[in-house]
Amino acid sequence: MTAVVAGVDIGSTTAKCVVLGEDSRILGKSLSVVGVDIVKDAERALEAALADAHLSRPEVSFITGTGYGRYKVYFGQLVVTEISCHARGANFLFPGTRLVVDIGGQDTKAIRIDDKGEVVDFAMNDKCAAGTGRFLDVCANALGYDVGEIGPLSLQARRAVKVTSTCTVFAESEVTSYVSRGKDPKDILAGLHASIANRTLSLMQRVGVEPEVTFTGGVSQNEGMVHALHRRLGVPVNVSPLSQYLGALGAALHGRERLSGGAA
Amino acid sequence: MSDVVSAPAVSGGVSRSFLRDARGLQRKLVEEYYGAFASVDQPRRPVAYMLVGGNLTEILRSFGYDVVFPEIVALNCAIKHQSLENILHAESLGYGLDVCGYVKNDLGLQDLGGKTSFGQIPRPDLLVCSFSGCYVYVKWWEALAESYGAPLFMFDVPYMREETPRQEDIAYLVSQLWELVHLLEKRTGRAFDMNELKRVLAESRRAEDGWVEFLRAGRLRPSPIEAYFESIFYMFPINVLRGTPGAADFYDVVNEEVRARVRDGNYPLPEEKFRVLVEGVPPYTNYRTFWDFFRKWGAVSVVATYPKVGGLFDRGFRHDPSRPFESIAEYSLGAYVNQSWPLRRKIIADYVKEYQADAVIIHGIKSCRSFTAGQGDLRDWLIHDQGVPTLYIESDHQDPRYFAPAQIKNRMDAFFESLEQRRAVAAAAGAAPG
Amino acid sequence: MPELLKIGSWAGDLPDGEAPAGIEISPDFREFTEAESVERIVHLAQEVLADPTFPTVRAWRTAGGKAIGCFPVYTPQELVHSFAMMPVAIQGGGENLEISRADAALGSFLCSISKSTLEMALTGLLDPFDGFVFPYICDVSRNLDGIFTRVLPQRPSHMLHLPQNFTSPATIPFLVAEYRSLIEKLERVAGRPFSPEDLRASLEVFNEQRALVDRLVVLKRDAPWKVTLVEYYLLLRLGGLLPREVHIPLLRRAIAELEGRERKNKDAIRVIVLGPFCEQPTLELLQLIEDVGCYVVGDELQMLHRWCPRIEPGTDPLESLATSYVRTPVDIGVRSTPTTKAAAILARVDAAKAQGVLFLTAKFCEPALEDVVLYRRALEGRGLPYLHMEFEEKSTTYEQARLQLETFAESILFE
Amino acid sequence: MITGGLDLGAGVIKGVLLEDGRRLLATASAPSRGIPVQAARHVLDTLGETANIAPDDIDYLCTTGFGRYAIPERNLQVSDFTSSARGAVFLFPKTRLVVDVGTQASRTMSISETGKVLKFKMNEKCAAGAGRFVERCSKYLQVPLEEMGPKALASERPKLISSVCAVLAETEIINNVAEGVPLADILMGVFLSLSQRAHSLMRYVGIQPEVTLVGGLVRNVGMVKALHDTIGMDLNVAPDAYYAAALGSAVLGHARLQKLTTAPQGVGG
Domain with D189 in it: what CATH number?
3.30.420.40
Handedness of CA B235, B238, B244, B249 (dihedral sign): positive
pLDDT at C101: 86
pLDDT for residue B424 is more than 90: no
Q: Are residues D171 and D101 in the same domain?
A: yes
| Mean pLDDT of all residues in A155-165 | 84
Q: Do B97 and D163 touch (CB under 8 A)?
A: no
User: Does the domain at residues A96-239 carry the CATH identifier 3.40.47.10?
Assistant: no
Mean pLDDT of C196-214: 96
Q: How many domains does chain D have?
A: 2
Residues D195 and D124 in one domain: yes
On the question of pLDDT at C303 being above 90, the answer is yes
From chain A, the residues in CB contact with C103 under 8 A are 202
D261 belongs to a structural domain: yes
Q: Are strands A26-33 and A14-20 parallel, antiparallel or unpaired?
A: antiparallel
Q: Does the beta-carbon distance from B417 to A127 stay under 8 Å?
A: no
How distant is the Cα of C115 from the closest Cα of chain B, in angstroms?
Answer: 10
Would you kindly state where each structural domain of chain A is located, as residue ranges? 1-94+242-264, 96-239
The CA distance from B401 to B398, in Å, is: 9
How much is the pLDDT for A18?
Answer: 96
What's the confidence (pLDDT) of residue C3?
39
Burial class (CB in 10 A: 0-12, 13-18, 19+), B51: buried
For the stretch B152-207, pLDDT in tens is 999 999 999 999 999 999 999 999 999 999 999 999 999 999 999 999 999 999 99
Q: pLDDT tens for residues C214-223? A: 999 999 999 9
Share of chain B above pLDDT 90, in %: 80
What pLDDT does residue B39 have? 59
Query: What's the pLDDT band for B49 if we cut at 50, 70, 90?
Result: very high
Is residue C399 over pLDDT 90? no
A1-94+242-264 topology per CATH: Nucleotidyltransferase; domain 5 (3.30.420)
Same-domain pairing of D98 and D65 = no
pLDDT value at residue C263? 92
pLDDT of residue C144: 97
- C390 reaches B (C-beta below 8 A): yes
pLDDT at A75: 86
- DSSP H helical segments within C260-382, as ranges? 283-291, 317-327, 338-351, 366-381
pLDDT higher than 90, residue A195: no
> Which residues in chain C touch residue B143, judged by CB atoms under 8 angstroms apart?
370, 373-374
B 57-96 → D contacts, CB under 8 A: 88-89, 91-94, 96
pLDDT tens column, B217-240: 999 999 999 999 999 989 999 999
Confidence grade of residue C95 (pLDDT, cut at 50, 70, 90): confident
Using 50, 70 and 90 to split pLDDT, how confident is the model at C410? confident
- D247-260 mean pLDDT: 91
Examine the pLDDT at C1 and tell me if it is beyond 70.
no
pLDDT tens digit string along C105-141? 888 889 999 999 999 999 999 999 999 999 999 999 9
A1-94+242-264 and A96-239 have identical folds: yes
Contact D122 C400 (CB under 8 A): yes
User: Is residue D165 located within the same domain as residue D199?
Assistant: yes
- In three-state secondary structure terms, C217 is helix
Dump pLDDT digits (tens) for C251-272. Answer: 999 999 999 999 999 889 999 9
pLDDT band at C14 (very low <50, low <70, confident <90, very high): very low
Q: Per-residue confidence at B432, pLDDT binned at 50, 70, 90?
A: low
Report CA C108 to chain centroid distance, whole Å.
26
pLDDT at residue B6 in the model: 38
The pLDDT, as a whole number, for residue C23 is: 52
What is the average pLDDT across D60-76? 89
Asked whether residue D74 falls in the same domain as residue D114, the answer is: no
> What is the value of ipTM here, to two decimals?
0.89
Q: How far is CA B252 from the centre of its chain?
A: 20
Pair (D110, D222) in one structural domain: yes
**Is C95 in the A-facing interface, judged by CB distances under 8 Å?**
yes
CA atoms within 13 A on the CB side of C300: 25
Nearest-CA distance A135 → chain D (Å):
9
As a whole number, mean pLDDT of residues A214-226 equals: 90
Chains that touch D (3 or more CB pairs under 8 A): A, B, C
Query: Model confidence at C20, in pLDDT bands (50, 70, 90)?
Result: very low
- B259-273 mean pLDDT: 92
Query: For position D268, what pLDDT does the model report?
Result: 37
Residue D103 has pLDDT above 50, yes or no: yes
At residue A217, the pLDDT reads 85
Please check the confidence at residue B110 and state whether its pLDDT lies above 90.
Answer: yes
What is the span of the domain harbouring residue D135?
93-237
CB of C108 within 8 Å of a chain B CB? The answer is yes
The pLDDT assigned to C17 comes to 42
Interface chains of chain B (3 or more CB pairs under 8 Å): A, C, D
For β-strands A99-103 and A108-113, DSSP reports them as: antiparallel
Q: Can you give the pLDDT at residue C24?
A: 61
Q: Which domains does chain C have, with CATH numbers?
A: 6-199 (3.40.50.11890)
Same domain, D29 and D104: no
Q: What's chain A's average pLDDT?
A: 87
- Determine the pLDDT at residue C7: 40
Report if residue D144 sits inside a domain. Answer: yes
B411 Cβ under 8 Å from any chain C Cβ: no
pLDDT bin (cut points 50, 70, 90) of residue B280 is very high
- pLDDT score, position D263: 62
Percent of chain B with pLDDT over 70: 93
Q: Mind listing the pLDDT tens digit for each residue in B340-381?
A: 999 999 999 999 999 999 999 999 999 999 999 999 999 999
- Do residues B196 and B190 make contact, with C-beta atoms less than 8 angstroms apart? no
Looking at the structure, do residues D46 and D105 belong to the same domain, yes or no? no
